[in-house]
Structure 1
Amino acid sequence: MAIQSVFNPVQSAGPLQMEPQKKSTPYEAQQSFGTFLKDAIQQVNNKQMESDTATQKLVMGGDIELHDVMIASQKASIALNATMEVRNKVIEAYQEIIRMPI
């Protein structure tokens, strides 16, 4: 019996009980999405600022290695490029929706 419960844990645990999902209003969904976007853009900004700080530290002769500066710079660059690609796709999708006939 123990072997069956290992291979088939769902049947041995009994029927699944699904929790009802909370339905959000359009306003709440809009606020949640807005908060998500704001946080994502803030993270990209933080990476840019970390890169700038590391670069300034290196230029001023601070205690930082060149490879750490390059890693911070690449992380900031990748984050910015990814953000720009997402923005481009959103704009492209919006333009496609606008072109749809009614």
Structure 2
Amino acid sequence: MQINQLVSHLPNTISINGNSKKTEIENFNKENNFGNYLKNAIQEVNQLQLQSDKATNMLAEGKKIDLHEVMIAGQKASISMQAALEIRNKAVEAYQEIMRMQV
């Protein structure tokens, strides 16, 4: 494989002949920015919480659902929420550490 083929697959590079890939980089950044990632992650946590609530309500109403399915949904929601909280805590901690740095 030639190096030009390798470089063409990297979104944040400049090609060997010096031509800028500005539009490719801008498109990559629009689709894959941190805000979109964070939004999708929060929506996924919320979706798991809603699924857990729905399963719990179905069990409480006596509808046909297995107890193990309700417990699995609850654990998935719990673990995803704990992970989101830990990520938030680490982000706040990193921000506080940056703010303590002397310029």
TM bracket (short chain): 0.7 to 0.9
The aligned amino acid for 1:95 is Q
Q: CA deviation at 1:32?
A: 1.5
Counterpart CA distance in 1 for 2:42 and 2:6 is 35
Give the structure with higher Rg (CA): 1
1:19 aligns with 2:20: no
1:52 aligns with 2:53: yes
| TM-score where L is the length of structure 1 | 0.76
Counterpart CA distance in 2 for 1:74 and 1:55 is 12
Q: Which blocks of at least 5 consecutive residues in structure 2 are unaligned?
A: 13-24
The structure 1 segments of at least 4 consecutive aligned residues displaced by more than 3 Å after TM superposition are 14-17
After superposition, residues 2-81 of structure 1 pair within 5 angstroms as: 15=2, 17-20=5-8, 21-23=10-12, 24=25, 28=29, 32-81=33-82
How many equivalent pairs are there?
Answer: 87
Q: CA deviation at 1:15?
A: 4.8
Q: Hey, what does 1:87 align to over in structure 2?
A: 88
Question: Alpha-carbon deviations, 1:75-98, whole Å to 9, x = none?
Answer: 000000000000000000000000
The aligned amino acid for 2:93 is E
Counterpart CA distance in 2 for 1:72 and 1:44 is 12
Q: Secondary structure at the match of 1:19?
A: helix
Higher relative contact order (CA 8 A, sep 6+): 1
Sequence identity percentage: 49
RMSD (Å) for aligned C-alpha atoms: 2.0
Counterpart CA distance in 2 for 1:92 and 1:82 is 15
Q: CA deviation at 1:22?
A: 2.6
| TM-score where L is the length of structure 2 | 0.76
